[in-house]
Chains A and B, each alone.
Chain A
Amino acid sequence: MIISKYDPLKLEQFQVLDSEGNIVNPKFEPKIDDKTLLHMYKTMSLARMADIKALQYQRQGRMLTYAPVQGQEAAQVGAMAALEPQDWLSPAFREFAAMLYKGVTLEQLYLYWYGNEIGSKFADDVNVLPVNVPIGSQVGHASGLAYASKVLKKNQVAVTYIGDGGTSHGEFYEAMNFATVFDAPMITIIQNNQYAISTPRHKATKAKTLAQKAVAFGIPGIQVDGNDVLAMYAVTKEAAERARKGEGPTLIEAYTYRIGPHTTSDDPTIYRKDEEVEQWRLKDPIKRFRIYLTNKKLWSDAQEEQLQKELEEYVTETFKKVENSDNPTIDDVFDYTFVNNPADLIEQKEKYMKYLKQTFLQSLKETSKANKNLKEE
């Protein structure tokens, strides 16, 4: 048992794999089969590649506002890998890597950030909620998903993510308390990436750790090295077991860092120093995981080179596909608000379509008239 051993009030942090890729806590090294380890590594690498590319596309004016995930891949993939396929993910908006691992496709994620709702229509068996923008409001959904799982005996655990900034939000407390009172099978992972846009964590709360907020709820809380994919896996696995046994929620603080800007609209150089970012780059979650896999003889430089090449091609091809995708139709725009559109919405749609048709015919007429004039000249 890990969670009860690390007291957030004593500022204890759980780590298995240090920044250099050494196992520092062999007793708690999780037993993960090779195939899963490689899948985890590849998903983290894909998220990284897709993230870097998305920023580039945005700078080229080909992508809209995007919230990068770089630096937080372990906090996401480590946790998701510890779940069962039927388990739920209720994300905030920076869970790119977690969503990928849970079965959302890269094309869907890119479509969403490209500005099309169709990107949030995941496959039927993918239990992931769409990107959730209003801070803190996703925790309540996880609480409800978990309660339903309990009452309907679905054996699902609901995992939700929130940022360090989000823990100041009232909805975080209300939803955590709600789930706790009913022993709902929920896990809340706070990705403490040190900043809420520009506001550093120490300006948002006097609490020494965010994990200690669990104490007031009456549930276990633990601070984990969020850049350590093995630690995240081990702790989430244990929290999920607790949840499945009916012991209720767990609060996990993943201590990590947002390497990139809050979103593409943000300039982090205003509020933090380059040296700080460089310090955190040394703790990179992918780098240390690669060393671990290399030491286990599961990974080689040649494989890495090959993977990077494949990922680059895959991401480039996927984004091209997204750039060439169709915009939503008028039906798409109107027909998902209600299961059956009420009369007045049908009327609004029909009137708009009539307008589009009329102006289209008008422009056709004008074009043919202009062409005719050209010919006559």
Chain B
Amino acid sequence: MAEMTLLQAINAALFEQMRKDPTVVVFGEDAGFEGGVFRVTKGLQQEFGVDRVFDTPISEAGIMGSAIGMAINGLKPIAEMQFEGFMFNGFNQIAVHMGRMRNRSRGKYSVPMVLRMPWGGGIRALEHHSEAVESFIAHIPGIKIVIPSTPYDAKGLMAAAIQDPDPVVFFEPKKIYRAFKQEVPETEYIVPIGKARVVEQGKDITVVAWGSMVREVQTAIKSLEKDNISVELIDLRTIVPMDTETIVNSVKKTGRLLVVHEAVRTLGFATEIITRVIEKAFLNLEAPPTRLTGFDIAVPLPRGEHHHMVDPKRIAFEIKQLVNYKV
């Protein structure tokens, strides 16, 4: 075991999987020599050489298109978009090829690759550096989506993503890249894609969150202890495939659901979660399933960002409203 931040855990997973599988290659803008602007890929080029770990031109479409070709021809590419706000330059490839090549060729070709991106706000960054863009990808069939919330999960999920036979988009919540440390096994382990984690057990309300929002909810839950409110917190961990069963079972027990996410509200992933819960646990509901999300606005620049970012106070407020809901 070693104490690691989420960033170090991802770095450790990359080292581990690259040692194990010589077909794994890592690349992106500044991802080679300097180890990426956040240093997630630090040290890899020194150990694995420039053919396997390399800097690319500023060329998201070039990176994405080439990654797909590499995956088809026997490599295991781990491509990086330097910031999620720039993925749209490469979005054509993500939307029209990454998740479709397998179906298009009836299984002759598949695209086993990982697309890494720093994700989300809360780091007082420039415009386009603070976006929660998971719903854009979730609307494309054939692509899995992972967003870890702890160092332990980050390492195990990255190992799972690299070994997955389908394309995986791996969002890295940059707000908690270095926010806290956790004991992480140095040997290989897998956190399976598609399985949510029940972070806290509770009986009054189910709260679903992912990425940096999990910690915000945990803080809110602590503040609610004095109110004697018992919250079941579920960390979704993977957006696609979504672990419907864990959420529905929880709501059947608690009767209440709050989904918390950073992304803008309209057609944010809360929409999908709430719809599934209504479809499968309608008669168990004691309050309207509710979402607490970013507003339908562009992420404000740092001076105003706190209005947009959901914080523990608002989460606690919303939980109380729902628990005290009367028909």
Q: Which residues of A contact B (CB under 8 A)?
A: 88, 90, 117-118, 120-122, 124, 129-130, 134, 137, 139-152, 154, 156, 158, 170-171, 174-175, 177-179, 181-182, 332, 336-340, 342-345
Contacts and interface: CB of A to CB of B under 8 A. Distances in A.
A174 B61 CA distance: 6
Interface of B: 23, 25, 51-52, 54, 56-57, 59-75, 77, 92-93, 96-97, 99, 101-110, 141-142, 144, 165-166, 194, 240-242, 244-245, 276
B97 A141 contact: yes
Contacts of A337: 99, 102-103, 141-142
11 contacts: A129-B105, A140-B65, A141-B66, A144-B71, A151-B25, A171-B62, A171-B92, A174-B57, A175-B66, A181-B56, A181-B57
B96 A121 contact: no
Contacts of B276: 344
Nearest to A347: B244
A339 B61 CA distance: 25
A179 B67 CA distance: 12
A121 B103 CA distance: 10
A342 B194 CA distance: 8
Nearest to B65: A140
B274 to A, nearest CB: 15
Given A118-B106, A120-B105, A344-B242, A134 B68 contact: no
A285 B70 CA distance: 35
A174 B75 contact: no
B164 to A, nearest CB: 8
Contacts of B60: 174
Closest 5 A-B residue pairs measured CB to CB?
A140-B65, A144-B69, A342-B241, A174-B62, A148-B73
A96 to B, nearest CB: 17
A107 B59 CA distance: 38
Nearest to A339: B165
B65 A117 contact: no
Given A140-B61, A339-B102, 13 more contacts: A121-B108, A129-B105, A130-B101, A140-B64, A144-B69, A144-B71, A145-B70, A148-B73, A342-B240, A342-B241, A343-B244, A344-B241, A344-B242
B65 A336 contact: no
A178 B105 contact: no
Among A144, A145, A148, A332, max chain B CB count under 10 A is at: A144
Given A144-B71, A151-B51, A337-B103, A177 B59 contact: yes
Contacts of A140: 61-62, 64-66, 68-69, 93
Given A175-B61, A332-B106, A342-B241, A154 B93 contact: no
